Amino acid sequence: MKKILIVEDEAPMLQGLKDNLEYESYAVDTASDGETGQEMVLNGKYDLILLDVMLPNISGFDICRNARKANISTPIILLTAKGEEIDKVLGLELGADDYITKPFSLRELLARIKAVLRRAPSREQEEDQVISLGRLSLNFKRYEAFEKDKPVKLSHKEFEIIRYLYKHADESVDRDDLMSKVWGIEYDITTRTVDNFILKLRQKIELDPNNPKVILTVHGLGYKLVL
């Protein structure tokens, strides 16, 4: 049984989500404020987290940021009444796996939950090993990156992108495929978002970001990671 944490301060919304998810055979824990939610996120074991953005004491954005800083890779879906692009971009940058704007239908939410859980890699089966790419040493299971033994900060999505490219090393991966596999086809992003993430990755991985040797551009298609 998959275990889901809901962090939501609106009592009717919280109870409604809990009841419906339990009806769908998920195990559900809840928190109604930011402080409690953050403690449960950092110390609990969950398969997925539904995280409201506008919370008392600590915002959902801050909880998401702190979870990724703590190397917690549990998938996070942000719930918010805001729909501006800047909020979506911020959610992506902080490592959210999906973003749904209130009001939303239960059917849409369940579809997104299933899609995110389907994309989430199995942490138990993933090997705890370190690989070298360009300037960095990476451990995908622990979400750690180092350059000459010094920690390097990569966002959750940057790890997911480089992980997917690594699994398809020496193959051309198109932008639409990255969007689908890393963000999910439901996520409202453009290919420019993918390009911006690749640009940031190159700044951290390549010896010379202006002359990349690890993440190559495949013109008219997407990218290729060369080992």
pLDDT 10s per residue in the chain (227 long)?
A: 889 999 999 999 999 999 999 999 999 999 999 999 999 999 888 999 999 998 988 999 999 989 988 878 889 999 987 665 556 667 667 888 888 888 889 999 999 899 888 876 544 444 567 889 999 999 887 788 999 989 999 988 899 899 889 888 889 999 988 888 887 755 567 888 889 999 999 999 999 999 999 999 999 899 999 98
* In contact, 55 and 10? CB cutoff 8 Å: no
State the sign of the Cα–Cα–Cα–Cα dihedral 221, 100, 115, 35: positive
- Assign 169 to helix, strand or coil: coil
Are 52 and 152 contained in the same domain?
Answer: no
Q: Do the domain assignments include residue 137? A: yes
Rounded to 5°, angle at Cα 33 from 53 and 52: 20
Q: Do the domain assignments include residue 191? A: yes
Q: Do the domain assignments include residue 204? A: yes
What residue numbers bound the domain in which 174 lies? 131-225
For 85, the enclosing helix (H) or strand (E) is helix 85-94
Last residue of a domain, one of 50, 85, 119: 119
Structural domains in the chain (count): 2
DSSP β-bridge partners for residue 197: none
In this predicted structure, what is the pLDDT of residue 185?
A: 55
In this predicted structure, what is the pLDDT of residue 21?
A: 95
In this predicted structure, what is the pLDDT of residue 186?
A: 54
* In contact, 169 and 225? CB cutoff 8 Å: yes
In this predicted structure, what is the pLDDT of residue 123?
A: 44
Q: Do the domain assignments include residue 29? A: yes
